[in-house]
Amino acid sequence: MQKEDVARLFTTPVDSPAYAPARYRFTNREYLNIYYRTDPEVLRRLVPEPLTVTDPIVRFEIMRMPDTTGLGDYTEAGQLIAVEHEGEKGEFNLAMYVDSVPAISSGREYSAYPKKSGSPTLYVDSDTLVGTLDYGTLRVATATMGYKHHALDPAEARAQVCSPNFMIKTIPDYDGGLRVCDLVRTQISDLTVKSAYTAPGRLELFAHAMAPLADLPVREVVGASHILTDLTLSPAQPVFDYLTA
């Protein structure tokens, strides 16, 4: 392999890339969102400056992705915290649990998504939409929502899915320090809402040392949504460099 060929690599192994070099297009990407109020002091300990917490709201999401360019079929779950950055409202992406190695690798390397391995599911049980998350052999989250009770305004559904996301991007250096430590921002703009509903929702979280979703306790569920979309992810852009601050 010539030097110029090495410089064109986007990931390793050199003979079988960990993920496809694609701009990821999602067809029939399905969301179950549970919005809930939690302990504001816990949020302030977790949310990094220069983000600020103005309302102690967390979104627990399960995303079912049956048809993704380059990545195939997989499911994710995670927690996002309502924040502001320089007057702009958005969400801080705290953690994501994913059942696909290529999706984990590409999300962490190509962008800044805080992904680790987990086993989420999303399915319909009689008249209820159910989302679960297992870490290893243990259940750490169960979300339920009435199935398609009330149509949700497509504009509201779009606002939920297209809220700006903030994440921490780190790349370690060879000496054990950090080569990159940035706050990054991304926002979905290429999106089609195919259906959207709201209904009563509930969320139960279970304590776990390595999947600490329950550290953000559910004080009050304030909303739930079930949204089906087609969308393309947008690149992340740095907005704050912690190494030069």
User: Are 201 and 224 spatial neighbours (Cβ–Cβ below 8 Å)?
Assistant: yes
CA–CA separation, 127 and 23 (whole Å): 36
Q: If 0-12 CB within 10 Å is exposed, 13-18 middle and 19+ buried, where does residue 35 land?
A: buried
Please, which residues have CB within 8 angstroms of residue 229's CB and are 6 or more apart in sequence?
Answer: 26, 28, 29, 30, 31, 161, 191, 192, 193, 194
Cα 28 to Cα 192: distance, rounded to the nearest angstrom: 10
Q: Residues with catalytic annotation?
A: 115
List the structure tokens of 48: 């990094």
